[in-house]
Chains A and B, each alone.
Chain A
């Protein structure tokens, strides 16, 4: 209602929604932005517009890092626990490099970070940014490294040094790329804040002392740093995870439950610190990953890693994908006859469940072959659960043969059922007259199964 009150109220429809009330709902559900409404941009509505924007700003202020297609937003969260609504902006996964790495080595790591991509449940898993650490503490050396990194990636960058002269030398190369400056502390905050203001880029405030964070952020805001340009690093201690996670909980509550202005910012965690406490590389990568796990479950907004081993990074990519699924919409796909590759009337029809994860796993396993896949409407549950819970039944499959007109798509009468749904095969054959072939238990075996069994032998 507060939102609606501030809108023009003439139902002009220019925003694409018929009524202002409808647009208000879109705004509250975060499906639209205030600027989608052209009348709100008129000068005489400036005050209302400002009030509306502030009203719609989530308790944790969103911060944008980088520019262009790879820019990402962190923060913007409204709830501490995902089940209370949903978490919105995935925790950013950033990997560090340093300015003492050899040119080729640096280039190779930067390219690997930027190129990594994997599709899971129909979504792309990739990293978000690169942190350049000024290990040398030498401005000219840092500048050189930043230059090399910037030439080899369009990913957003984090410039890491407590020396404002070093940060400045990095900014000479990438000030137009909206990098994140790391980090302001009690000693240097004024100079870092000056850089953030001058170059209009976000900055990190780092301290394990919440009082210090409050003091620096209050002063930085008063000095003129924008309230959507601050990120907080409350310290990731690899051996004392208790205080580490407790600080996260306190800060998240401060932002969301208290809406305490000096702390309404996204939180940065640095599992990379595990490399300070472990000697062995594999141990360090294991610890780094496990620390990241604790931070992601406790709703961190961004993470900096050191490892470049995919086995240690993939679990974090997957965990954040999982936890940022919207719990209000169970991940499922439409129950319809889908095509993979270029199927014709001789291609097999594979049956599976409409749980998104199941469906996309099967689809991925069919890469390179031509087939139809029919995901039965199992209320978004997996084959195993659906068979056990009577959500995947012979009746549903028999009905689908009719409704989805399987007979018009193919010239044969064969269905391939998941191995875990074998129990349904008899009834399907009796009720539909189609022949049922029981496929593999795990869809990774589909290609081998088809190689041995398709086309089916004439009886």
Chain B
């Protein structure tokens, strides 16, 4: 005899009973005919009690036990997985990095109940090859290493636990020092020697000169699998793509808070032949209080499209969290000697880093994989928050006691 799944029979029965609620149940037996339970002539004996009283006799229902509906939380499965990108190459792969850092690989939205994050977001510390205008609360941490990128990188790794380091070749800016690309590339060598974490290499942001600067840097860092920052639509991105493929690096595809521009740039890179495991996106980070909502929403849309199967958007995301320091709430008070800002907004030693934390943490929650960050305290807090989000941390057993605890 064929066995029938008990739950299935119960489910069918429930549906049947619901469909006959309007029938006046005077009989103590109902024959169900033409009901497809695949059992060839089932006959059920139904006692009126099997039907919820409330549906039959409202007056009695009030005295009945209240029915507690069970709730099964929605868990969402996505079609697609975000591309996994290796950063850095060890000796086994021809490089000299101590470890490979992996970005991406997500199967659902960040830290959602639907899945585990394969890799936690990574913070890369900003360093510069020349003196750049930094707010005093930041520069005081780096005074002795400014102008010495190797030392700066070393300090970031040894003192602050940097998992990656970014070297911005800002001295190449034609409006500034206008350092020739080959000379600037020496700073990259210096950093590669000083630390063994994977690198991000940035230009000065000058669209005419950056391709040459990144080419020279890519060459001296051959096979180290650095992230070249950045390919954009308004410069000769093909040269950067060529440099990445020839010297074995990854590319940061940077656009301005616009999902369609990001698709456009990614598509061009892919059609040009850049491997899928070399592309990281930077959809631009607007700071807290200065358009952060645009960044949050564009990133969420990009990530949902990527997970939903849009192959042009299925890449990890990087964010320039340092942009938070452009917000006046973060920096004002030191350079503009007006004590009133400390009075109105609190000490800048705290408000600056916290502004950076909010900007960075919002990006993490919107899908960031890599944060470019600057202030040691911000980075410490961001890493701590990521750890608390990881699911590895034990919770407090008595949170309800907050009412009396302090």
Contact = CB atoms under 8 A, between A and B. Distances in A.
B350 A297 contact: no
B68 to A, nearest CB: 5
A155 to B, nearest CB: 19
A444 B336 contact: yes
Interface stretch (B9-17, B235-243, B288-296): B288-296
A361 B365 CA distance: 28
B2 to A, nearest CB: 35
Interface string B344-384: 11110011001101100110011000000000000001001
A72 interface: no
Contacts of B176: none
A52 B292 CA distance: 37
Interface string B376-406: 0000010011001111011110111111111
B329 A222 contact: no
A211 B389 CA distance: 23
Contacts of B297: 81-83, 327
B358 A293 contact: yes
B249 to A, nearest CB: 27
B71 A214 contact: yes
B405 A315 contact: no
A257 B74 contact: yes
A298 interface: yes
Interface in A240-292: 240-243, 245-246, 249-250, 253-254, 257-258, 260-263, 270, 272-273, 275-277, 282, 285-287, 289-290
A214 B69 CA distance: 8
Nearest to A185: B400
A239 B395 contact: yes
Nearest to A131: B403
Contacts of A243: 391, 395
Interface stretch (A5-13, A318-326, A411-419): A318-326
Nearest to B330: A315
B385 A294 contact: yes
Given A253-B74, A294-B365, A241 B389 contact: yes
A442 B133 CA distance: 14
Interface string B248-292: 000000001000000000000000000000000000000011111
B405 A294 contact: no
A286 B354 contact: yes
A449 B52 CA distance: 79
B351 A357 contact: no
Interface in B298-317: 300-301
A89 B70 CA distance: 29
Nearest to B395: A240
Q: Chain A at the B interface: mostly helix, strand, loop or mixed?
A: helix
A382 B391 CA distance: 39
Contacts of A314: 329, 345-346, 351
A286 B350 contact: yes
Contact of A306 (B66, B351, B399, B406): B406
Nearest to A364: B328
Interface in B47-103: 66-71, 73-74
A246 B112 contact: yes
B113 interface: yes
B71 A318 contact: no
A137 interface: yes
**Most chain B CB inside 10 Å of its own CB: which residue of A134, A239, A275, A361:** A239
B256 A385 contact: yes
B350 A277 contact: no
B174 to A, nearest CB: 15
B111 interface: yes
Nearest to B361: A293
B169 interface: no
B213 to A, nearest CB: 20
Contacts of B401: 276
19 contacts: A135-B403, A137-B404, A218-B67, A237-B396, A238-B396, A239-B388, A240-B388, A241-B393, A243-B391, A254-B71, A254-B74, A262-B69, A293-B361, A297-B296, A311-B351, A315-B357, A322-B292, A361-B328, A442-B328
